[in-house]
Chain A
Amino acid sequence: MTTTAPPVTPVRRRVAVAGVRHAAGRVLAVLARSAAVFAPVFLVATFVTFALRSLSGLSPARVQLGEEATPEAIERVEAQWGLDRPFLTQYGDWFTSVLHGDLGTSWVNGADISTLIGLGLGVSLSVATFALIIGVFAGFLLGTVAALRRTTVIDRTITGFVTVISVMPAFVVGIVLVSVLAVGLGLFPSAGYVPAEQGAGAWLAHITLPALALSFDVVADVARQLRSSLVGAYQENYVTGAVVRGLSPRRIFFTHVLRNALGPTLATLGQKFPALVGASVVTEWIFGLQGFGRFANDSAQAGDVPAVQGVLVVSIALVVSFNLVVNLVLAHVTPASRRGV
C-alpha cells in the first residue's frame, strides 16, 4: 500500500472523463445486450406469427369468394396474393416489408393494414398510457404510504383496499364506472373517442373512464410490489449505515431506500404492459372505442389473416420496446442488473 498519493488535478480530470465514459458506455452496453436478446425474440415471434396462416389453412379466396368458389378461382386468387410460392420465400418477402413498415393489405377490403392499425393504435395507446400513468402515480403513492406506515392501521387499510381492487376484472370495473360516473352522474361521456387534435379536454374526458378501468390492476400490482420492496430495503444494513452517517429520514428514503426498491417495481411494470394491451380488447367493447384491441378482435373474427399478423407484429414491437425502456431505467437504478449474466 502506497502512502504517496498523486497530485490532485490529474486525479480529478481522470474522474470526470471516466465518469462520462462510464455513463455512455453503460447505456450502450444495455442497448447492445437488450438488442441481442430482442432480435431473436422478434425473429422467432414473427416467424410463428407468419406460420399461423399455413397452420390455420385460411385463404383469401374463401374470405373473398365465399364457400361456393371453384378450385380454379381459389387458385387464381391465391396466386394473386402470392400464396403459391414456397413458404420461406413468402416469409422473407413479408418480413422485409414489415421492416419497412408495410404490413400488407387486408383480405377483407384490400385496405392498407398499417393505416388501419395506425388509426386504432392512437386510441389504444392514449388509453393504455393514461392507465399506466394513473397506475404508477396511485400505485407509488399507496405503496409508499403503506411502507412508511407499515404495520399501522393505515398500512392495513391500504393493503386491504389494494387487494380488493386487484381482484376486480377490468370489464366489471368498466361497467360500474360507466353506470355511476357516466350514466348516473354524467361527469364523463359513456362511450366514444375524440382525437387529441380536436381538443385536449374532450380527449381526456373520453379516455379517462377506460383508463381508470384498466389502471386498477396496475395500481394494485405497483402498490403491493413497491410496499414490499420498500419494507425490505428499510431492513437493509445500508439504511443503518446512512442513519449513522447522520442523513435525514427524508434523504434516506429518496436516495437510498426508494432507489433500491425501484428495481422490482419497474420489473413488475414491464410485465404489466402486455396485460394492458390484452385487457384493452374487452374495455374497448364496453367503452365503444374503435381501438387496436377491437381491430384485432374484428380481424380475427373475419379470418383476415394479414390483419391479425399485423396486429401481432405491432404488439410484439410494442412490448419489446416498452421492455427496452424499462431495462434502460432499471440499468440506471440498479447496479446488480448491470453486472451481466
Chain B
Amino acid sequence: MSPLSPDTLTPRPERPRPERARPETARPTDDGGSPEAAPVLALHDVRVTDRAGDREIVHGVTFTLTPGKAVGIVGESGSGKTLTCRAVLGILPPHFEVSGGRVDLMGEDTATKTPRQWTDLRGSTIGAVFQDPASYLNPAITVGAQIAEVLRVKRGLSRRAARRRAVELLAAVRLRDPGRVHGQYVHELSGGMLQRVLIAAAVAVEPRALIADEATTALDVTVQAEILDLLADLRERTGLALVVVSHDLAVVAHLCDEVLVMRRGEVVEQGETRSVLHHPRHPYTRLLVAEHEQYGLDRFRHPSGGVMTTPAVKAAREAEPGAVLEVTGLDVHHGRGRARRRVLRDVTLGIAPGEIVGLIGETGSGKSTLARAVLGLVPPSAGSIRVAGEDVGAYGPRQWRALRRRGVIQYVFQDPLRSLDPDLTIEDSLVEPLLIQGVRRKEAAPRVRSFLDRVRLTPDLLERLPAELSGGQRQRVAVARALVTGPRLVVLDEPVSALDSANRVQVLEILKELRASGVALLLISHDLGSVAGTADRVAVLHRGELVETGAARDIVNHPVHPYTRLLLGSAPTLRGRPAGRAEREALRALPAD
C-alpha cells in the first residue's frame, strides 16, 4: 500500500482484494461500477418478524446493490426501513428475526454466518452510520482512538500506524484540523463533525457497502448537504456502494440510482429514481412528491409558484392596517461580565395581519432568542418590540403577565407531546387558556369545539389524553390551543420538524388557511425548504443578524446574500440541487468571512 496523502482514501482498484473470487469484477469502471459487476449486497424478499408478538413487520424487501451504486429507502418512522437495515447488518433487536427471504453479502447467504463470521464481515465488508452520531461513539474515549481501534483490530496495524491512518481518515472526511479532532471527545464536537467521524470509522477498513440510516436527519441543512456531498464523493472515488435511508425523498433523490418507498413494512413503490420522482404511481409516493412540489422549494420552480393571497386574506389585511409585530433595531445579549456576548444584532422585522413570515436560521443563529424576546422571555438590550401596537419591549413582569393572560401572543413548540400536559384530556388542555381569562367552563367548551373544526380534528378526541393521539393530531391540538384565545400573533418553533409527510402537509395547510382570520404567524425553522412554500415572506438569520428579508418567491429565485445562496444550494429538492458541490463549497467559505 502506498503512502496516502491525507485527503484521499485508497481508490478501490489500487488495492487487490483476495476475497474477491471473480477477476472480472475486481475493477469497477470509472463510472462507478459496470452493470455486470457482481452485487455487493442482494436482498431477496426479506421479511422480518417480531417473535414476541408473532407479527411480521417487514413484508418482503428485494433489491440488488452493485459496487459504486446507491439504493435509497424512503419511509416514515415505523415503515420498517431501519429494521431492514438491521437485518442486513445482522443486528436485529432481541426477539426480531429474518423470517423469510435471504440477504446475500458478496454473494454469500448471511443466514449461515456464525457470530464470529459476522464480526469479521462487519466493518470490513459492510459498515453503517446512523442518526444522532453522538450516541454511536463511546463518550469515554477520544474519537480518534475509536477509529484507530478498528484499524488495529481489523487490519492489525500497530498503535502508531493506526493513529497515523486515523488522522488521515479524519482528513479524508474533510474535517478541518484532523490532528486536533483525533484527540477530542464526543462532547467537544458538533453533530456534523461527529457524523464525519462516524463515517471515517465506518470506512476505515474499506468496506464494500455503507448503510446510512437517517445519517443527516436533525443536522442543519447546510451540514446535511456537506455530509451528502461526502457520501457521494466516497462513492465516486472508492466505489463504495451505498444504502441511503431517509424519511425525506429529496435526500435520497439526488444520491441514489434506485429508490424503494416503504410504508407499514411494505415496499409500495420501487424503481429507478427519476421515474419514481416524475411518475409516482402509489398515492403515498405522490404525497411525498407533492410535499416538495407544493410546500417546499420545488414550488417556486413552477411559473405560478409561491403562496397565493386569497381574497379573504386580502380582506383581513385591509380590515386592520399596520403591522401586528414590529421589531426595530433589536439587540439581545446573553451572559454577563466577560461572558456577555451579543446574540442578536440590529434585527428589524415586521409581520402584517394574515401574513406568514418564515424565520430561517441554523443552530446558534439566534432564531430561538428572537422568538423568546418577542414572547418576553429574554429582555432586549436595545431596540423596540411592538405587538399589536403595544410597546411590549419596555414591559415589566406585571404587564407581561397581563398580556399573556389576554392571550395576544401564543407559542407552539416543536415537540407536541412534551408541550401538552400528559394528565389533562385534550378538552382540558384546550379550555385552559380560556379559564385563565376568567371565561366560565360552560361557555368555554363550545368555543373550543368550534376551533377543532379549523384544525381538522373530530370532537371525539376531546376526551382522550395526549398519549392516545398521533404526533400530527397532537400538533394540531397544540395549534388549536394557541388559537382559542384569538391571538394576534402566533410564534411556531419548528412546528413540522417532528412530523411525517402526511401530517406535515396537513399542518402547513392549516397554517395557510389561518391567514384569513387575520392572525400573524412567525414560522421558525432551520430548513428553508420546509417553510418557504408556506410563507409569504422569508427572513434569513445568520449569526444574529438578519442577512436577507423579502418575499418568499424572490428569496428563493434570486437570493443575494451568500448565506442565503448556500441555504438554497443545500436544501434537498426533488429536481436536483440548484447548486453544484463546488459552488456550495465556494459559498461556504464566503459567509464565514
Contact = CB atoms under 8 A, between A and B. Distances in A.
Interface of A: 1-6, 8, 11-12, 14-15, 18-19, 22, 236-238, 240-249, 251, 255-256, 259-260, 333-336, 339
Nearest to B116: A248
Contacts of B164: 8, 12
Given A5-B7, A11-B178, A22 B139 contact: no
From A2, A8, A249, A333, name the one whose CB has the most chain B CB atoms within 10 angstroms. A8
A249 B114 CA distance: 13
Contacts of A245: 122-123, 127, 150, 201-202, 204
B42 to A, nearest CB: 20
A179 B232 CA distance: 75
Contacts of B163: 12, 15
A244 B118 CA distance: 10
B127 A244 contact: yes
Interface stretch (B29-37, B129-137, B568-576): B129-137
Task: Indicate the member of A1, A255, A259, A334 with the most B CB atoms within 10 Å.
Answer: A1
Contact of B7 (A3, A243, A251): A3
Contacts of B137: 238, 241
A15 B202 contact: no
Nearest to A333: B140
Nearest to A4: B7
Tell me the interface secondary structure of chain B in the complex.
Answer: helix
A248 B202 CA distance: 15
Contacts of B186: 335
A8 B168 contact: yes
A304 B187 CA distance: 53
Contacts of A259: 138, 140-141
A252 B489 CA distance: 53
Contacts of A242: 138
B174 A244 contact: no
B178 A5 contact: yes
Contact of A237 (B6, B132, B154, B179): B132
21 contacts: A1-B174, A1-B176, A2-B174, A8-B164, A12-B179, A15-B180, A19-B183, A237-B132, A241-B201, A243-B91, A243-B122, A244-B89, A244-B127, A245-B122, A245-B127, A246-B124, A260-B140, A334-B139, A335-B140, A335-B186, A339-B187
A1 B585 contact: yes
A5 B171 contact: yes
Nearest to A339: B187
Interface in B1-32: 5-7
A89 to B, nearest CB: 40
B535 to A, nearest CB: 29
B153 A15 contact: no
Contact of A22 (B136, B183, B201, B226): B183
Task: List the 7 shortest-distance A-B pairs measured between CB atoms, nearest first.
Answer: A246-B123, A241-B136, A246-B122, A237-B135, A11-B179, A5-B6, A5-B171
Contacts of A241: 130, 136-138, 198, 201
Contacts of A247: 119, 123, 149-150, 153
Please indicate which of the listed interface residues A2, A5, A6, A260 has the most CB atoms of chain B within 10 Å of its own CB: A5
A1 B226 contact: yes
Interface string B157-183: 000000110011001001010111011
Contacts of A1: 174, 176, 226, 585, 588
Contacts of A335: 139-140, 185-187
Nearest to A10: B179
B120 interface: yes
A336 B130 CA distance: 23
Nearest to B175: A1
Contact of B176 (A2, A236, A260): A2
Interface string B290-332: 0000000000000000000000000000000000000000000
B172 to A, nearest CB: 8
Nearest to B211: A244
Contacts of B116: 248
Contacts of B135: 236-238
A11 B167 contact: yes
A246 B205 contact: yes
B180 A14 contact: yes
Nearest to A236: B135
B140 to A, nearest CB: 5
A249 B163 CA distance: 23
Nearest to B588: A1
Contacts of B205: 246
B465 interface: no
Contacts of A339: 187
A6 B139 CA distance: 28
Given A5-B171, A12-B163, A243-B91, 10 more contacts: A15-B180, A237-B135, A237-B136, A241-B138, A245-B202, A246-B120, A247-B119, A260-B139, A336-B187, A339-B187
A240 B91 contact: yes
A19 B205 CA distance: 25
A18 B127 CA distance: 31
B128 interface: yes
Interface string B416-435: 00000000000000000000
Interface string B215-244: 000000000001000000000000000000
B184 to A, nearest CB: 10
A271 B132 CA distance: 35
B378 interface: no
Nearest to A151: B94
B121 interface: yes
A259 B138 CA distance: 9
Contacts of B179: 11-12, 14-15, 18
B265 to A, nearest CB: 22
A239 B120 CA distance: 16
A18 B6 CA distance: 20
B122 A244 contact: yes
Contacts of B202: 244-245
A308 to B, nearest CB: 43
B119 A248 contact: yes
A19 B159 CA distance: 14
B192 to A, nearest CB: 10
Of residues B127, B138, B139, B171, which shows the largest number of chain A Cβ atoms within 10 Å of its Cβ? B138
Interface string B487-530: 00000000000000000000000000000000000000000000
Nearest to A260: B140
Contacts of B180: 14-15, 18
Nearest to B136: A241
Given A11-B167, A335-B186, A244 B226 contact: no
Contacts of A244: 89, 91, 122-123, 127-128, 202
Nearest to A244: B128
B6 to A, nearest CB: 4
B139 A238 contact: yes
A311 to B, nearest CB: 39
A247 B141 CA distance: 15
A240 B90 CA distance: 11
A251 B153 contact: yes
A94 B204 CA distance: 63
A159 to B, nearest CB: 20
A5 B202 CA distance: 21
Contacts of A246: 119-124, 150, 153-154, 205
B141 A255 contact: yes
Contacts of B171: 5
A143 B202 CA distance: 32
Contacts of A333: 140
Contacts of B588: 1
Nearest to B226: A1
Contacts of B154: 246
